[in-house]
Amino acid sequence: MVDKMWGKIYCCAIAALLVVTAWAAPHEGHDHGGHAPDHHHHLHHGKDEAHPSHEGSSDACHLLSPHNADFAFSLYKKLAFRPDAQGKNIFFSPVGISMALSLLALGAKGSTHSQIYSSLGYGELKPEQVDEGYEHLLHMLGHSQDTIQLEAGAGVAIRDGFKVVDKFLKDAQHYYSSEAFSVDFSKPEIAEEEINKFIAKKTHDKITSMVKGLDSDTVMMLITYMYFRGQWDKPFDAAQTHKADFKVDKDTTVQVDMMKRSGRYDIYQDRINQTTVMMVPYKGNTSMMIVLPEDGKMKELEEYICRHHIKSWHEKLVRSSVDLFMPKFSISATSKLGDILQEMGITEAFGDKADFSGITEEVKVKVSRVVHQAVLSVDEKGTEAAAATTIEIMPMSLPDTVMLSRPFLVLIVEDSTKSILFMGKITDPTV
């Protein structure tokens, strides 16, 4: 007799927390491929080792970027137009969430798999193209310059005695840099502590208590994480930081620590869309794109913005003298994504027809919860960074002034992989 009890699989990330429930209690007495409880799978090549040659893997990496960008803006709009989103900051890692869902898809079959791929925009791609694309993406991000710290990967926490298909674990390790480890989910508080410790370590203690309220019948948790630490290419002078007003909305004004820097930046004034776009580069291949709509035009911007605007703005940027005023801020945003992903077409994975037989053949499992958490800190030195001193020669022209004293969008983009690592809206820098 099979007990009608639901186990749970979580998929968490500084990206996403994804919970899958199992139709039946896991069979006792099985292990996940003969590994000791403290066994960890490790990256299949070291950071300083040569990357294994994959014909066309670079193409596969870039093959994902337009689809990931489309997914990023679709997800952003779902988050921005929820009734409870008004007046709140939005911040998430699009590539982290796409990666979490692609990791889940490793174990999905049939229409469960095709719905996940379709929602990600991967409908025309083969699984090996997607998986090799992420393998190459993670390699590129992990081998970024010494001037920035960019770490991404995955973890699979498995219930003691729960049998997982070995191919799933091997592919998760190979393509998604995943580490597998055993957890005693029958003791939820201990399991929460162990998984939170894993996430805290991978995010350098920026996210420390993401997993809460675990059920004792959880069978697995999938984790994806991304950590970014960058220094501004041209740091702000802390001596110029001053108190200033920031207009959250027509009825609310808050006081912020406003940084100031005069320098040469790539900027574009989009008169048609009444928006100013500006790139504030970090050292290395990563930049912060700031999108500042005119007062009262944020909703319009959110309705129309897509990857084609980003591409067009990129092409029209002009190097110019700018007086940039940017608030210091540190935000943490947590989003429950289950309903949103179902609206985006991933429905079967959450229902009784879900087919995750590529993860386990022991029990039927389904997704029941998806949570996402991401954190961003910005100050004079950069995003969690050390100071540097530069001297810049300025032309004698009247500078443009970009005053970030009302809500604006921010995208952290990695140029070599054309990836939107993080994206959000700063509505109130003081929250």
What are the boundaries of each domain within the chain?
Answer: 7-230+332-376, 231-327+381-426
> What's the pLDDT band for 224 if we cut at 50, 70, 90?
confident
pLDDT single digits (tens) 116-128: 999 999 999 999 9
Position 407 pLDDT exceeds 50:
yes
Mean pLDDT of the chain: 81
Position 98 pLDDT exceeds 60:
yes
Residues 160, 39: Cα–Cα separation, whole Å? 12
Q: Using alpha carbons only, what angle is made at residue 378 by residues 233 and 409, rounded to the nearest 5 degrees?
A: 95
Lowest mean pLDDT among 201-215, 287-301, 308-322: 201-215
Position 111 pLDDT exceeds 90:
yes
pLDDT single digits (tens) 23-34: 544 333 334 444
What is the percentage of the chain residues whose pLDDT exceeds 90? 47
Residues 168, 106: Cα–Cα separation, whole Å? 6
Report yes or no: 378 and 133 within 8 Å, Cβ to Cβ.
no
pLDDT single digits (tens) 331-381: 888 888 888 999 999 999 888 888 989 998 877 877 766 778 888 888 878
Average pLDDT over residues 145-154: 76
pLDDT at 389: 34
> What's the pLDDT band for 410 if we cut at 50, 70, 90?
very high
Residues 61, 79: Cα–Cα separation, whole Å? 26
pLDDT single digits (tens) 290-313: 999 999 999 999 999 999 999 999
Nearest Cα to 90, choosing from 106, 75, 110? 75
Position 159 pLDDT exceeds 60:
yes
What DSSP state is assigned to residue 107?
Answer: T
Q: Specify whether domain 7-230+332-376 bears CATH 3.30.497.10.
A: yes
Average pLDDT over residues 269-279: 95
| 94 SS3 class | helix
**Residues paired with 263 in a beta bridge:** 322
CATH, range 231-327+381-426:
2.30.39.10
Between 103 and 3, residue with greater pLDDT: 103
Residues 405, 254: Cα–Cα separation, whole Å? 10
Position 36 pLDDT exceeds 80:
no
Residues 245, 309: Cα–Cα separation, whole Å? 30
Do the strands 419-426 and 17-22 form a parallel or antiparallel pair, or are they unpaired?
Answer: unpaired
Its pTM stands at: 0.84
Lowest mean pLDDT among 15-29, 169-183, 218-232, 335-349: 15-29
pLDDT at 136: 92
DSSP 150-214: EEEEEEEEEETT----HHHHHHHHHHH-EEEEEE-TTSHHHHHHHHHHHHHHHTTTSS-----S-
Residues 78, 91: Cα–Cα separation, whole Å? 13
Average pLDDT over residues 85-89: 88
